Chains A and B, each alone.
Chain A
Amino acid sequence: MTVEPILVMQGICKSFPGVNALKNAQLRLFPGEVHALMGQNGAGKSTLIKVLTGVETPDAGEIRLNGQAISPACVGEAQKMGITAVYQEINLCPNLSVAENIFIGRFPMRAIGIDWKTIEHQAAAELAALNIHIDVSLPLASYPVAIQQMVAIARALTTEAQVLILDEPTSSLDEGEVERLFQALRQLKQKGMAIVFITHFLDQTYAIADRITVLRNGEFIGEYPASTLSRLDLINTMVGREINEASYAANSSAQAASVADKPYVSARGLGSTGGMHPFDLDLYRGQVTGLGGLLGSGRTETARLLFGIDRADSGTIRVDGHAVKLNSPRQAVRYGIAFCPEDRKNEGIVADLSIRENIILALQARRGIFHYLPKRAQSAIAEQYIEQLGIRTSDAEKPIGQLSGGNQQKALLARWLATDPKMLILDEPTRGIDIAAKLEIMELVKAQCKKGLAILFISSEMSEVLRVSDRIAVLRDRQKIGEIAGHDADEQNVFRMIAGAEA
């Protein structure tokens, strides 16, 4: 087949302050194909899409549409060129009617203004094509998220697009809805549209994609026909093999035999609708339990359930043998559970406060505002942890925002250690920090664990999970599919489990 590609992106580079989001990324699209763009969290998929749709301007590289170089400066411009995107978070206006959301920006006009009748008829017809029959004159907000997502897709379909980008469109759809979407996509494919499909569901990738492009750390790794790339190979290319040896070397879980025989926290059938399928999980003191799984497999959801951020609608939690209800983080903190969230900048540090104030925050919150911790005591605690965790700073009064990512993370760790927790949940503690700092953090985690802390360790880098964990709970598609003891596990084991029997 000697069809010319409709769109070629080559040598795309984009860096944000402190991060190289894209290094020499590329993407080729042919008319009449569904192209899956795959990669781990932070691989640069979204940035690549943003460059293509004019949300971001690339630092280098070229985009050719039908052989002509283009450089869309804004979304509207990209749309006029025939490049339309549906984003993961629904980008519609909840206050407008369904019909209006589909047509706003390109209303059919009559002599006296917007032709509302035509809009409502056409909108209903477009949705009917996706097998959705709803009252299109009602505001979008009156429908559930899945319908909103379909409306977003219907909006994209009504544009005269040559290139349609779907960025995780299925995360809120159920199987029937996904199937309907796929039917619509197949029809569009036959009309010669090129479709970019981003998802973290492997099943869906293989159900719809013709070809797959894999990105890793902002770099182009390869382009493969979907039929020749096995699931295991796909996971391996996404994750990268080269870190394998490192993960083997340091796991010393055999020593961690001094585990208490009773779990500190024990979840039975814990689950939430729309979140995690019910799962069992035991967390022992003196043991690091890792959560293994790909992006979207439910790692953070698990942590949020255990910390009481999301409410469980099924199952029970026992803490130290007593059945408890965890309905808010406050309660979880009272039971000695601490949580370092994934999004360090927004949910973790308070950038303008000093290191001391950041470290003391959780402890003070626990004491209540009327038991003010004297400044001297605060300084003592801060100094102690700065020394103990090796936080590199000139003094404790420096705003935490000025520290490097690794040192911020250590300060966050200190914040929770200062409250003397029994269990610590670490969600992506090593994201966005350099290798040396990562190793340091992992050592700290293990050291704290030896002191009798129960730790739940979450990381999107499987090698890290393997390195620190005594036990790994493996997740896939928001389901716990099994556990592996740390010393038996290597990446291939885990990935084979995630890929399932078909691999």
Chain B
Amino acid sequence: MRFSHHINSRTLPLIVTSLLFVILFGFGSIAYPSFFSAQVFINLLIDNAFLCVVAIGMTFVILSGGIDLSVGSIVALTTMVTASLVEHQHWSIYSVIPLVLLMGAAFGMLMGVLIYVFKLQAFIVTLGGMFLARGLCYVISIDSIAITDAAYTEISQYRIMLGDEVFISINAVIALITLAVAIYLAQYTRFGRTVYAIGGNERSAQLMGLPVGQTTILVYTLSGFCSALGGVLVTFYMLSGYGLHALGMELDAIAAAVIGGTLLTGGVGYVAGSLVGVLILGVIQSLISFDGTLSSWWTRIAVGVLLCLFCLMQRLFERGGTSFSALFAYWKKPLEPAGRAD
């Protein structure tokens, strides 16, 4: 097939990441008897659905060459607003969810406008957004608000059975749908390709006549929306709103994107990679909890090491761009007479 044709310096990080996931999962299956099951795999998705959604938004931002540090705080703010409206004001779930999604999108859009129109650095603007959103949580309440609304608990506990024993949660389904939409956006729409172009070279994108401003603002709007959606998933998962929810999640999301093969300099990477990135973070967590003797902080250590390794790997690919594809040239040879015929 033409699979080998698709191995190049851009797809390789994703392939390596996927292989790593398989290896980690394989290791767990051998080391712990009950590890190898479809439910353990699906649990990775269920337990990390919100991170997955947030990481998808983050991936678009990073692809465009930016960064969004506000996502964790927007998640927390969303949980707070949701919990407060549902519990204290007794709003219906069907009006609360659209409202908080809109709120997240508007928050992101505002940051996008600041970044593009006033040419401010994304790092600083979203850092401001991060403090602002986190602070607003405590304006609502400094304590955790438990959600007892019937509709919420029902959704939270709803299990979609796949076969007799394996089930999947609504959260995981929403995450998968978000992923599918995001892949479509990135690969098959003008918006998505413009994001890649801006990440590759913003000035070129401008000179090619692409709508750079509009797209930049949309990217942050999308990230804000994804964060709010992530927040909604957290309320389903935790059944509470709290200002301390999702502390440091922006960094987990960045880590997932980078491990998934997205270059922090923008323009290179795949949305699907971020799912694999999230799954790797999840599988490390599972391995450590299955082991039982290690402190959960070992997850952080493993993630730290992985991140450094992946960045190093990407730099090597980047630098060796042509020499690296030469390494794979012997696979391509029978397929394609690459190069110029004079």
Chain A interface (Cβ within 8 Å of chain B)? 55, 74-76, 78-79, 85, 87, 90-96, 100, 104-105, 107, 112-114, 132-135, 138-139, 141-142, 147, 155, 176
Contact = CB atoms under 8 A, between A and B. Distances in A.
A104 B339 contact: no
Contact of B208 (A91, A132, A139, A176): A91
7 closest residue pairs by CB, A with B: A113-B188, A93-B200, A76-B209, A95-B267, A95-B200, A91-B204, A91-B207
Nearest to B63: A95
Consensus secondary structure, chain A interface? loop
Interface in B107-150: none
Given A92-B204, A113-B189, A135-B336, A105 B322 contact: no
A135 B206 contact: no
A147 B341 CA distance: 13
A141 B200 CA distance: 10
A300 to B, nearest CB: 23
A142 B325 contact: yes
Contacts of B73: none
Contacts of B232: none
A134 B207 contact: no
Interface stretch (B35-43, B191-199, B253-261, B281-289): B191-199
21 contacts: A55-B207, A75-B206, A75-B207, A75-B209, A76-B210, A85-B207, A87-B207, A90-B204, A91-B207, A92-B201, A95-B196, A95-B201, A104-B197, A105-B208, A107-B190, A113-B184, A133-B341, A134-B340, A138-B325, A147-B340, A176-B342
Given A105-B209, A142-B322, A114 B193 contact: yes
B10 interface: yes
* Chain B CB within 10 A, most for which of A93, A100, A112, A142: A93
A96 B340 contact: no
Nearest to B190: A107
B321 A141 contact: yes
Chain B residues touching A, range: 20 to 34
A139 B207 contact: no
Given A75-B209, A107-B190, A139-B10, A133 B197 contact: no
A104 B188 contact: no
B201 A93 contact: yes
Interface in B296-342: 321-322, 325, 336, 338-342
A76 B267 contact: no
B326 to A, nearest CB: 10
B337 to A, nearest CB: 8
B196 to A, nearest CB: 6
Interface of B: 8, 10, 184, 187-190, 193-194, 196-197, 199-201, 203-211, 267-268, 321-322, 325, 336, 338-342
Contacts of B210: 76, 104-105
A94 B199 CA distance: 10
A284 to B, nearest CB: 43
Nearest to B266: A95
Contacts of A92: 201, 204, 208
A485 to B, nearest CB: 45
A37 B289 CA distance: 71
B204 A93 contact: yes
Contacts of B325: 138, 142
A134 B211 CA distance: 29
A134 B196 CA distance: 22
Nearest to A133: B341
B76 to A, nearest CB: 34
Contacts, number: 87
A157 to B, nearest CB: 14
Contact of B196 (A85, A96, A133): A96
A213 B317 CA distance: 47
Contact of B267 (A93, A107, A113, A147): A93
A76 B10 CA distance: 29
Contacts of A133: 340-341
A75 B210 CA distance: 8
Contact of B189 (A100, A114, A138): A114
Contact of A74 (B187, B209, B338, B340): B209
A96 B199 CA distance: 10
B207 A95 contact: no
Nearest to A140: B200
B321 A142 contact: yes
B269 to A, nearest CB: 9
A91 B201 CA distance: 8
A75 B209 CA distance: 5
Given A93-B197, A114-B187, A138-B325, 16 more contacts: A78-B209, A85-B207, A87-B207, A92-B201, A93-B201, A93-B204, A93-B267, A95-B199, A95-B200, A95-B267, A107-B190, A107-B193, A113-B188, A114-B193, A132-B340, A135-B336
Nearest to B269: A95
Contacts of B188: 112-114
Contacts of B190: 107, 114
A107 B189 CA distance: 9
Contact of A94 (B201, B322, B336): B201
A65 B171 CA distance: 57
A136 B206 CA distance: 22
A13 to B, nearest CB: 23
Contacts of A104: 193-194, 197, 208, 210
A46 to B, nearest CB: 13
A74 B321 CA distance: 34
Contacts of B196: 93, 95-96
B305 to A, nearest CB: 28
B193 A75 contact: no
Contacts of B199: 95
Contacts of B341: 133
Contacts of A75: 206-209
B267 to A, nearest CB: 4
Contacts of A96: 193, 196-197, 200, 267
Most chain B CB within 10 A, of A79, A94, A104, is at: A104
Contacts of A55: 207
A132 B341 CA distance: 7
Nearest to B337: A133
A5 to B, nearest CB: 25
Contacts of A94: 200-201, 267
A393 B189 CA distance: 58
Nearest to A112: B188
A256 B190 CA distance: 67
B261 to A, nearest CB: 13
Contact of A134 (B189, B200, B205, B339): B339
Interface centre among A74, A94, A96 (most CB of B within 10 A): A96
Nearest to A93: B200
Nearest to A141: B321
A212 to B, nearest CB: 26
Contacts of A114: 187-190, 193
